[in-house]
Structure formats: C-alpha cells, structure tokens
Structure 1
C-alpha cells in the first residue's frame, strides 16, 4: 500500500477519501485512468489512439470528443448569458451528484468484506463474475434502473437489457445459492463501513487454494 495510506485510516481521513473519490473519481478515471486497469503506457478515455480502445472503436471516440467540445462551447455561451453561478447551480451540482452516485454504485458493487479476490492461479471467468454484490438503495433502485440490485446478473449476462435484469436475478438466486451475494445495508452505512474495513487484500493462508485473497482493515 502507498506509504501515506495509514495516515488516512481514521475518521477525518476516511471523510476526505470519500469526498475526493465521489467528487473527482469519475473525471480522474476518464482523464487519467485512475483506478482503471493498468496499461503499458499512459491511458486516457478521450484519446482515440490510447491503449484502451481497439481500431474499430477509434471513430466512436472521435465523435464523442467532438460532442464534448460542442457541449463545452455551449456551456461557455451559457456562462456568458446567465453567469457562472447559475450554471453551477443548474448544471454543475446535478452533474457532481450523478458522477458521485456512479462512482459510489460501482465501488459498493465490487467492494465488500465477503467478496474474494483471485490471483492468476485461481481466477476464472465465473469466479470473477460472481465476485460482486447486489445492494439495496431503497426507492433509488428504480431511479437507477435496478443496476444497484441486479449487478450479479449483469456480470453473468452483460449483454442483457436492463429491463430483464430483475427477472433474471430472481431466476439465478436459487441456482447460485450461497454464491449469490446480497447486502441490504443502507448504502450510506455501507459506504462508511467499506471505507473503514476494506483497505487492502491479503492471502487467506488457511484456505486450501492459495490464490484466494480477502479484504483486510488492519495495518
């Protein structure tokens, strides 16, 4: 772990970590691939020739970049007409909230004390697909089109339309049995618990398979 991590293993440090993650996590991921999979060179989601994309995807990134420039210019014109404060209230704050929930949902789907991690000697596609947890966000489940409480099904059937996800989840629960992970903890409590308890992974020396790792919270 980075040398400075232990200094954030306290309530103020966790609050700061959560704030930076929720506010800046998504733009940092897009611009600098922060927390993304490693590549052999710099990776940026706006770069059509970056290592993230294949040749057939480059045109789509060009089109996306043109759209981003167009929206940026439009927002500039709005600032001239309405002022920066108006734009921040009407556009900036809602954007931060959406980005924050996007990062939070992804974080909680893949971070839980009961979720194992595998090295190359133990990992296979099915184990990796099942290393996720469905969560309950209450009424927000419907707002987010149930991506919050049907993520296990999404991992198993990634091309399935979201409007079949609830049906699929009900079908796979009895088949997966104990391998289906669900946590009904309110998301705001789970967010704090996972930030406190899921700091790093280490090998489970007592397990018969040495390539299995579990979250730990002690330095």
Structure 2
C-alpha cells in the first residue's frame, strides 16, 4: 500500500553507465550483522501500532477517494474522456494498493525453459514480460513459479504445502477463507452491477497491483552486478546483501519505500518500513561497495535485465563454482 511523508535515499552521485555493471564484492564482508545493527539508531527497530495503522488508514482513505470519484463521476464524462479516465484510475488505484514484494529465485542454466532460446530477442522479451507482469503473481501463488524449489508440489493456498511450517497452517486456512469470501463478494457484485462494473472498478487495479508486485520483486533481485550463491558458498549475510535498491521516483513514497530500502529490509526484515530510510542512510557507509543502488529509469532497467539476466552460473574458468552471476548466452 502507499504512504506519504518519506523521501527517497538519494545515491551518493549519479552513476555512470559502466558502474551499473560493476560487480558487487562476493567475498565475506569485513563487517558483521551486529555492527550494522549498532550503526542504526535504536528507535528504528521500535514498532508503533498507532503509527502503523495510520498508514493503513491513509492508504484506504486515498483508495476510497479514487473509488468514489470513479463510481460517481466517470459516467458523466464523454465517452472519449471516459476511455482515458478508467485506465488512469486503474493505475492510481493499483499503485496505492501495492504494498510488498515476494520471493524470487534465479534459475541456473539447466533450469531455464526449453523455449528460452526462441524468446531471447526483442519480440520474445516483449511477450515474456507481458506474461510475467499479467500472470506472474497468480502463477506464483498457485504454482510457486519463480519461488524456492521444493521436492513436491507447492501452492500458497494449500495449508499442507511445504512452503509453510506447522504453526502457519491454520493461518493459511483463515487466509483461504478470506479469499473465498472476497470471491463470493465479487460474484454478488457482478450479479448486482454487472461484470463490466467489477472489471472496471476492481479488475483493472488488480492487474496493476499484480504487475507492480512482480516488477518490484524482479528488479530488486535481478541485476548484472549481483552475485548469487549455491549451498557450498552461501551464508546468511552475503545472501541478504544480494539485492539492489532502485529509484521509482514519486512511487518510492507511494510504495512505502520498499523499492529504495530493500537492502535494509533484507538485513532487518522486522524493522518498520517508516524507519527504513533512516536505517539505510546509517548502514550505507559501513556497507560500502557491498551496497548496490541503481538509478537507471525503471522501464530501461526492465528491458536491460530481461536481456542480460536470463540465468545464473559461475564464471567460466573460475575455480570457485559456488558464486553465480547472471548470463544471457544460450
């Protein structure tokens, strides 16, 4: 969900084009998680229920305002303006209701699909990105696409899925009940107001939310400069640092700054989002070259990453086979 009142962390200086591909160090960092935590003001770890709910109320207020305007005034517009107003509503409402990212695990070369060599071209990338941003989120929930590999079928709606621990299974049942209740509510709305009304008011923003959830997750974990590790080399701290902060402009604020404080989120996932900006500023001097920020415009970054980052593998001739880098040679 969106939020207000927070500024993006500016980069130390505008990066030159080659710097975007300057690899992040993959050796064990000269600092510890404890040292990073000590650099952050203690109040950044304090959670406030009233403050947290204030963001929920703020977001719901903005979403309700968009809904009110769309359902009470759009029908008064001339058809030509109505065709512009509804997509604008979908984008604005979808941005406000976007609130988090999800798991993304890069594929090794042996794990990429057989058709990858046929889509490794501009038309193919357009097709794959379109599918990814429209169906990617439902596919992740239903089939754990792009998620961690499990020995058996994994579905986020299945309480017995290997994704969850025993203490989480009741929570999934409650969540499933909520999904069914919303589905039934949408059915009743469609009966009362028509399918077109539900698609315009609910379906359009939902597609935008789906697209942003996938986009944000994809760009936070996909970058030519980021190392990835297999089990022989992985440790928690280096794994947590294998992410990149991005600049979405004004949307950084709308998205609760999940876009430009993701490194801090990886390191301290229970920290309230409204302290993440301050924490990021505090740890950047310690992280040094281990901190990755890329201010490349988002549309340009999506296209570049889709072209350059198809799978991960060790560098050719590298003795250490536990460190993997993105490659696009098929």
Q: TM-score range by the shorter chain?
A: over 0.9
Question: CA offsets per residue over residues 46-74 of structure 1, 9 Å max, x none?
Answer: 11111111111111111111111111111
Task: State the TM-score, normalizing by the size of structure 2.
Answer: 0.65
- C-alpha distance in 2 between matches for 1:218 and 1:205: 12
**Alpha-carbon distance, 1:137 to partner:** 0.2
1:179 matches 2:290: yes
Alignment-derived partner of residue 65 in structure 1 = 176
Question: CA offsets per residue over residues 23-67 of structure 1, 9 Å max, x none?
Answer: 011111111111111112111111111111111111111111111
- C-alpha distance in 1 between matches for 2:213 and 2:113: 25
Question: CA offsets per residue over residues 127-183 of structure 1, 9 Å max, x none?
Answer: 101100000000000000000000000001011110110000000110000110000
Alignment-derived partner of residue 15 in structure 1 = 126
Q: Which has the higher contact order (CA 8 A, sep 6+)?
A: 2
- C-alpha distance in 2 between matches for 1:75 and 1:168: 41
- C-alpha distance in 2 between matches for 1:119 and 1:30: 25
- C-alpha distance in 1 between matches for 2:199 and 2:233: 48
Gaps of 5+ in 2: 1-111
Alignment-derived partner of residue 188 in structure 1 = 299
Instruction: Provide the alpha-carbon RMSD of the alignment.
Output: 1.1
- 1:2-41 equivalent positions in 2, closer than 5 A: 2-41=113-152
Of 109-118 and 34-43, more deviation after overlay is shown by 34-43
Of 35-44 and 16-25, more deviation after overlay is shown by 35-44
Say which one has the larger Rg.
Answer: 2
1:91 matches 2:213: no
How many pairs were matched up?
A: 219
- C-alpha distance in 2 between matches for 1:30 and 1:200: 22
Gaps of 5+ in 1: none
Structure 1 segments, 4+ long, off by >6 Å, are none
- 1:91-110 equivalent positions in 2, closer than 5 A: 91-110=202-221
Q: 1:120 aligns with which of 231, 242, 246?
A: 231
Task: State the TM-score, normalizing by the size of structure 1.
Answer: 0.97
